[in-house]
Amino acid sequence: MYKFILQMHSGWAYVALILLVIAIINAFIGLSSKNPFTLKDRRISMFTLIGAHIQFVFGLALYFVSPNGLDKIKAVGMSGMSDMDRLLAVEHPFMNLIAVTLITIGWSRHKKAADDRKFKSIAIFYTLGLLALLVMIPWKNWFA
């Protein structure tokens, strides 16, 4: 079970990041060209939101079945962790929660915004979410 969830979390990360980059580029193009927010733009933003939430669910499941998540905290405590252990057990999950929250705020704000401000909401909050994700990706594990 652990290996399957780990593979899904690792594989889906590429999909989620690609969707996020596409949505951000689309939002900045729409913002700079002053185009109306169309059904295509809404779908791109919505699929990105869904992709980010799916990735978070895989990560949340992984947190509870992985030896690097909650089990690591229980086993050695916070003071006994190495830098990589702390990244995987505390920092990465917490920052990803913040990132998914930012993406969700961007989606929610765009729904309430006037048409000329929808792209701005997506551009700002999805970009902040992407930056939060990129900062806490365990890069050593990705390229190992």
Number of H helices, E strands in the chain: 7, 0
pLDDT digits (tens, 9 = 90+) for 3-32: 899 889 888 999 999 999 999 999 999 999
Indicate whether 46 pLDDT > 60: yes
Cα distances (angstroms) measured from residue 15 to each of 29, 49, 94, 143: 21, 12, 21, 17
> Tokens at residue 4, please?
């399957």
Mean pLDDT of the chain: 90
Task: Tell me the three state secondary structure of residue 78.
Answer: coil
Determine if the pTM surpasses 0.95: no
